[in-house]
Amino acid sequence: MKQVWFRGTKSEDKEKRKHEVLNYRNAFDSLTEILNTHYKKKEGVRDYGAPNWEFRQIAVNEYNRVLEDILELIDLNKKD
């Protein structure tokens, strides 16, 4: 589980917080399935001759990074 789930949690409350987050597992599994099915990574922009292609590529990169960040956050088996 990523440490971000424990930010702002006192040391003595970490076990309680861990248990709380682990109770979200079913929802996170469903969300992961939805994201992988309906919000797939976008292909890079390869039309280098088109005006502003670099801005479209930046948008694709940002979209893909946010999608990866969310999937990593809700994967409770991953660690920092």
Asked whether the beta carbons of 76 and 25 are under 8 A apart, the reply is yes
**Predicted TM-score (pTM) of this structure:** 0.84
Q: What is the structure's pLDDT at 38?
A: 97
Asked whether the beta carbons of 78 and 8 are under 8 A apart, the reply is no
How far is the C-alpha of 12 from the C-alpha of 6, rounded, in Å?
11
Flag whether pLDDT at 80 surpasses 80: no
Per-residue CA distances from 4 to 34, 40, 53, 55, 79 (Å): 23, 24, 35, 31, 10
Q: What is the structure's pLDDT at 4?
A: 95
Reported as a single tens digit per residue, the pLDDT across 11-56 is 999 999 999 999 999 999 999 999 999 999 999 999 999 999 999 9
Q: What is the structure's pLDDT at 41?
A: 94
Q: What is the structure's pLDDT at 61?
A: 97
How far is the C-alpha of 40 from the C-alpha of 67, rounded, in Å?
8
Q: What is the structure's pLDDT at 79?
A: 79
